[in-house]
Structure 1
């Protein structure tokens, strides 16, 4: 039996990880009493007693938690942004390239991907790595997310009995084009410059749709819509949590909450003779956060990666 500690269990991601793991008989979850959950020494003891620690904390607190770990056998999955581009940490998106799953399996430190970044990298990295799009392609991406992505404070704002009328409408943010997920997008896709990224939060609890439009004439390989769809279907053919929609199943409207409660993501490829539209739909709390963390834990422990996720 493995000892698991979730530092930050009271947050949105931490609670979901706990819910996914609490019924498992192969894990012993170390739980601090309410009055001790911010006690540094109590946390230190749990962090050093665990086989795997999940860090569901703000960036600064996640860095502090890592500094408290003295036991070299302890392995860490960090759900914050703190270590996603840090040296010595493996980026935990196992589907993205051959050999990544093996790196995660052997890692002491795994950085769980950001939700927006999960969609963008799933769409863009294969194109760049396969030479279809150049590393200098001027990528633009739009991402619509449910309000749960903003954590407890935003959830409370959206679910308040009396709330700002502005919450009834989709709201674009990150207007300085410097969203915190951009560095991991650049690194994992091997880009020479940052994409223009427009995140939008909307009035539904969970779900996400990341869209990347492409000009065919700017691609290194002038592939059409059907060719790109076939490429993705073949690239992700063996993956448990990535599906590619067939041409006949593409709806007139893509709903960002289509896969709420699921742990897989679905890629839609559409467009016309000159332009291609790539869209990735998934649950921002599932494959975009807690589900991905549990998948990484399963891989690190040598367990079926789908355990407690399907």
Structure 2
């Protein structure tokens, strides 16, 4: 079976690794290199890195629609199937129509919930107790294709985006391999339409989404911090500086104003609109990451410290 794989982040690279261990992947298609960080360094995305390390044919088109070079390359390969995982762009019809068995996507939610670029982030931010992966046959919409199978997992209270991505990528790789094995045996598969009335969206997360509103409930703030770690990282302001908060725990302290900071036996506690949180990992702009206790030591001379 001739396979083409399309994907970009770490969620996709584990799935590519599983495919490559058992099948010949004719071509890997991933997003173009982009500068990251303050220094604007070019760092290979996880899928590109895996493809290079394993001597796989690699293509990085700037766009897919009306990209005749990419389309001609795919036609020349004549793939039986194209597997897609978090590629990052909608596939045009001229690509969807190339493979014999279609383009099959592994999406990190139980569709039709959380269609879009950031399903893992939004599941955490919204305080979901469970999520999963969906294997679907792609159409020209954004995660609107017919469902082949869905597989659920529990979300733990301390899961952040990085942890949940790892769990879902393992599940996605396992279930996609089962589908691939079944396809080889049966040369066919069944799918069903999504229920549009249950559809929700999970748009790309940006830095504005990650700003902490201390008037909100402690659980909501904790969920935002979980859903924005490791990127874009939930943040607030302290003494006119941006402060990033990576990890917190719920606390039962009372009578603390929203955003107010107190020292509770060496623990850094922040008040919320309802409840409070203990800050476990924090980073001031341009400095290294600190524990809550270390941060407290640095602000001991401030009479009434407060986030705003």
Fold agreement, TM-score > 0.5: no
Structure in which a larger fraction of residues adopt helix: 1
Structure 1 or 2: larger strand share? 2
The structure having more radius of gyration, on CA atoms, is 2
Q: Which has the higher contact order (CA 8 A, sep 6+)?
A: 1
Length-normalised TM-score, structure 1:
0.32
